[in-house]
């Protein structure tokens, strides 16, 4: 006999195990910047790794460095559907809102577009949600961790005063970097509300800390190990409140 459970409009089969999948960019993949090594690495204590042992089933990580929503849509069949997930946590926007900063620096007064136009980002995210639901998969959207605008500006300008000066001519203010990225994060919430899809406020969890910047790497955008723990805790809290049956019994008993 198949047992169904309805939570906030979602109907899911009650099973012994489930397939979970993280779909997004380098944040989902667990990439941070290692200052000692001077390069990006994938950490062992990513939020995916921290969650795995708490969930009833297998967690697939389909996060890819540099992923945008457009690339995510194009790889939906190979990166997501082939794994037959029950729930997909969707995390896009960080690369979508970004610019080609070298092109900006070389022509600061020209017209420059982000990797994904804002309206296209929203419509593509809606399409992704629709595709997942059409395949009987429950999507859960995730807002973006905030940027440390000062550090990110220095990073993309390569700590070069001349390059930074030109980028600033385009931006007008370093704070615009924060506002622009926040706009894409807000679009995630808008899409969630318009499509009646659940969402996890990771951004809010970061901003609730006394100084969220200590949760961000030197590049100003990737969460560090402590930041990944914040994300894991927020997702766990969400699952516990909304989908307790997805958690292992021993986790709930502690």
Report the topology of domain 4-21+45-252: Rossmann fold (3.40.50)
Contact 238, 20 (CB under 8 A): no
Q: Which two tokens stand for residue 125?
A: 């995210």
Write out pLDDT tens, residues 158-194.
Answer: 999 999 999 999 999 999 999 999 999 999 999 999 9
Contact 192, 198 (CB under 8 A): yes
* Average pLDDT rounded to a whole number, residues 116-139: 97
**Average pLDDT over all residues of the chain:** 93
What SS3 state is found at 87? strand
DSSP string over 12-72: EE--S-EEEEEEESHHHHTEEEETTTTEEEE-TT-HHHHHHTTBSEEEEE---TT--HHHH
**How many residues does this entry show for the chain?**
254
Own/partner contacts of 42-46, CB < 8 Å, gap of 24 or more, are: 43/225, 43/228, 45/225, 45/228, 45/229, 46/228
198/6: higher pLDDT = 198
Position 2 pLDDT exceeds 60:
no
Residue 130 CA to residue 65 CA, distance in Å, equals 24
CB atoms within 10 A of CB 86: 18
Confidence of residue 10 (pLDDT cuts 50, 70, 90): low
Confidence of residue 249 (pLDDT cuts 50, 70, 90): confident
Residue 9 CA to residue 93 CA, distance in Å, equals 26
Position 221 pLDDT exceeds 50:
yes
Position 7 pLDDT exceeds 80:
no
User: Which pLDDT score is estimated for 241?
Assistant: 92
Instruction: Look up the pTM and report it.
Output: 0.93
Residue 95 CA to residue 128 CA, distance in Å, equals 17
Write out pLDDT tens, residues 54-106.
Answer: 999 999 999 999 999 999 999 999 999 999 999 999 999 999 999 999 999 99
């Amino acid at each position: 006999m198949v047992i169904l459970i309805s939570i906030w409009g979602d109907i899911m089969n009650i099973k012994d195990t489930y397939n979970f999948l993280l779909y997004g960019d380098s944040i989902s993949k667990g990439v941070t910047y290692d200052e000692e090594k001077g390069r990006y690495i994938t950490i062992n204590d990513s939020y995916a790794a921290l969650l795995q042992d708490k969930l009833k089933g297998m967690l697939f990580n389909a996060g890819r460095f540099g992923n945008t929503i457009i690339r995510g849509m194009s790889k939906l069949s190979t990166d997501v559907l082939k794994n037959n997930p029950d729930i997909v946590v969707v995390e896009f926007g960080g690369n979508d809102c970004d610019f080609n900063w070298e092109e900006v620096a070389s022509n600061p007064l020209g017209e420059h577009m982000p990797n994904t136009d804002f309206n296209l980002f929203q419509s593509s995210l809606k399409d992704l949600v629709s595709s997942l639901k059409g395949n009987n998969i429950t999507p859960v959207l995730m807002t973006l961790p905030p940027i440390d605008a000062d550090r990110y500006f220095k990073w993309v300008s390569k700590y070069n005063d001349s390059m930074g000066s030109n980028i600033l001519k385009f931006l007008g203010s370093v704070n615009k970097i924060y506002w622009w990225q926040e706009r894409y994060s807000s679009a995630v919430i808008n899409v969630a509300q318009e499509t009646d899809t659940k969402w996890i406020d990771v951004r809010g969890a970061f901003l609730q800390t006394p100084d969220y910047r200590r949760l961000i790497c030197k590049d100003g955008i990737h969460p560090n190990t402590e930041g990944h723990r914040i994300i894991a805790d927020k997702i766990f809290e969400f699952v516990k409140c909304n989908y307790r049956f997805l958690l292992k019994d021993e986790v709930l008993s502690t």
